[in-house]
Amino acid sequence: MMGRAFQLARLNQGLTGKNPSVGCILVDAAGHIVGAGVTGTGGRPHAEEIALEEAAGKAKGGTAYVTLEPCRERSSGAASCSRKLVDAGIARVVVAIEDPHPTARDGLVILREAGVRVETGLGKHAAARLYRWFFAASQDH
């Protein structure tokens, strides 16, 4: 599933402004894909938001595969992707790599504190290559 998430992320690479192009695949408790998303052109909406909308509630108890750590907070003040995953009842989140950006990092903390099982590192090297430019820019904050 992470491979599919990376395929999505690569679709909008270079089209998302200052935001990275993230891929997200949601599977239900039985392992069936119920939602998929990629960061929108210009950087909004986020991949998780698109996947959750497509899943329409069917992801409860399931797993989210995300190429980059879901955000902790949003600059707009809207609910963060980590909070939206919790609210959707996601039981497990598999993340390729953690996000160093100041407003995004620690999204995994929100997930863990809510009782969501979190796994990191699946696809970490591919993510490090894909987001190299974003990680370099994040160090400027």
- Which of 39, 1, 33, 9 shows the shortest CA–CA distance to 127? 9
Write down the mean pLDDT value for the chain: 95
For residue 94, what are the contacts with CB-CB under 8 A and spacing of at least 6?
1, 2, 63, 64, 65, 66, 119, 120, 122
Q: What is the CATH number of the domain that holds 76?
A: 3.40.140.10
Q: Is residue 139 included in any domain, yes or no?
A: no
Q: In this structure, is residue 141 part of a structural domain? A: no
Asked if residue 109 is part of any domain, the answer here is yes
In tens, the pLDDT along 75-96 reads 777 899 999 999 999 999 999 9
Q: Active-site residue 69, yes or no?
A: no
pLDDT tens by residue, 52-80: 999 999 999 999 999 999 999 887 778 99
Active-site choice (48, 49, 69, 73):
48
Residue 53's domain spans which residues? Answer: 2-132
**How many structural domains is the chain composed of?**
1
- Report yes or no on 41 lying in a domain: yes
